[in-house]
Amino acid sequence: MSSVQSSVDSCPDCGEHIVESNGEAVCGSCNLVVEEQCIDRGPESRMFDENGTLKGGRTGATVVESRHDRGFSTTIGNHGDMAGLSGRQRRKVGRLRHQQSRTTIRSTSERNQVYGFCEIRRLVGALGLPENVQESACALFRSAQDAGLMPGRSLEGFAAAAVYATCRVQSLSRSLEEVADVGRGSQEELTVAYDAMNEELGLPTGPVDPSEYIPRFVSALGLSAAVEQYALAVAEVETATADGRKPTGVAAACVDIARQALVSGVCTQEDVAGAADVSARTVQNVTAQLREDGVLADVEVRG
């Protein structure tokens, strides 16, 4: 890193020719930096794209992960070079400093919050949830931040977990898998974050009632209101079968029993299982258990 001259003629990555750019040897095709910068140009201001992200084609100093901005932040100085400037120019620089202080994100927690809120907003939209969920989830996200739960855990996990937790508190029936699928982080990150919040913040959530899912599954399959009522009746009677089992699986079984009893020709068992995102075998298992518990006969009398 002591010479401006490149030691190679072609890019090791794509074989393209090398061009000289601002004291760096850069591949003309893929922008790979072959030779790192050796002339100190001081602070730069050309490293952000419109979104403020740092991805792609970036050349220059070493990335510092320990700083919230990875060490890429630009500071407009207040000393030294101001000497030769006129009063008008000085005021102009002063305005620039002021504007930058507004746009620059000051702390990691603030940056995390902006990112987290963005992700929460995206999730709420993608899952078709009402607006108040966004508000509650953001508040919960902030609580987790204030409680110091986030260091060492996934940021995306907390955003998704905040949405999932809000759904559970408000009985809005979105499964962990559904949220995790739309979310940016993995399901494990979501679970870790949710457990942390549940433990430290004491979320007011009990076990999930399978009947919460029934209306959604019924409408997704285009089945009638009568089927929904029948399925809800099955879920009502059932108590012991559900515990320890996946609520979506139990809900699917209830819907499938109603389907068989009322509109067996309209769609298949596999369709019901698919709508609930469980296997057909699970539906069969739960149904068999319900039969064994005598739940079905109980509903038969009422229907």
Partner DNA sequence: ACGATTATTGCGTTCTT
Partner DNA sequence: AAGAAAACAATAATCGT
Site residues (vs DNA, CB under 7 A): 187-188, 191, 244-246, 249, 269, 277-282, 284-286, 288
User: Residue 280 class from Cβ within 10 Å (0-12 exposed, 13-18 middle, 19+ buried)?
Assistant: middle
Q: How many CA atoms lie within 13 A of 276 on its CB side?
A: 30
Q: How many CA atoms lie within 13 A of 213 on its CB side?
A: 26
* Nearer of residues 29 and 279 to DNA, judged by Cβ: 279
How far, in whole angstroms, is CA 172 from its chain's centroid?
18
List the strands of the sheet with 33-35, edge to edge: 18-21, 24-27, 33-35
The nearest distance, CB 294 to DNA, in angstroms, is 16
The nearest distance, CB 89 to DNA, in angstroms, is 54
The nearest distance, CB 102 to DNA, in angstroms, is 39
The nearest distance, CB 192 to DNA, in angstroms, is 9
* Nearer of residues 215 and 274 to DNA, judged by Cβ: 274
Give percent helix, percent strand, percent coil of the chain, each to the nearest 5. Answer: 50, 5, 45
* Nearer of residues 18 and 257 to DNA, judged by Cβ: 257
Handedness of CA 285, 286, 289, 294 (dihedral sign): negative
Phi, psi (rounded to 5 degrees) for 239: -140, -55
The amino acid present at 296, given as its one-letter code, is: L
* Nearer of residues 47 and 296 to DNA, judged by Cβ: 296
Which residue matches tokens 């400093």?
A: 97
The nearest distance, CB 270 to DNA, in angstroms, is 9
* Nearer of residues 26 and 251 to DNA, judged by Cβ: 251
The nearest distance, CB 288 to DNA, in angstroms, is 6
The amino acid present at 17, given as its one-letter code, is: H
* Nearer of residues 112 and 282 to DNA, judged by Cβ: 282
